Amino acid sequence: MAHIEHLAIWTADLERLRAFYERHFGARAGARYRNPAKQFESYFLSFDSGARLELMSRPSMAPAPLATPAVTPSGFAHLALSVGSRARVDQLTAQLREAGVPILDGPRQTGDGYYESVALDPDGNRIEIAV
């Protein structure tokens, strides 16, 4: 049976994005991988659930502008992270807001049954913080 092994995100600033996911979501980074021949670097971040997120970079990448709440017609939409309870969604959303992280929505109960908020990581990627 197939399952998603990991999700990968390009970034111009590996250390900034690594620190964000470690600080706010309890991710644990493996060793920084470097491939000088391809001018490629990455981290694999692991979460307690077993899910993994790969952060990837090349020196030619320009910093990403902060994303707007507009819907894009194709491509990456969001990363959903479950934090276990409504209280934790509320707590983490407040913590992120206090840290200056843009909160786009919530916390709220969605029409399809999720309790969530939506924040932006430092590169403007949407993160759904759900129960």
Per the prediction, the chain carries an average pLDDT of: 89
Cβ atoms of residues 130 and 116 within 8 Å: yes
pTM of the predicted protein model: 0.83
Residue 40 near residue 56 (C-beta atoms within 8 A) = yes
Question: In this predicted structure, what is the pLDDT of residue 19?
Answer: 97
Give 1's pLDDT tier (boundaries 50, 70, 90): confident
Name the CA radius of gyration of the chain, rounded. Answer: 15
Identify the structural domains of the chain with CATH numbers, from first to last.
Answer: 1-59 (3.10.180.10), 77-131 (3.10.180.10)
The pLDDT tens digits of the residues spanning 68-103 come to 554 444 567 889 999 999 999 999 999 999 999 999
| Residue 76 confidence (pLDDT) | 77
68 vs 57: CA distance, rounded Å: 22
Helix 86-98 to helix 14-25 angle, to the nearest 10 degrees?
140
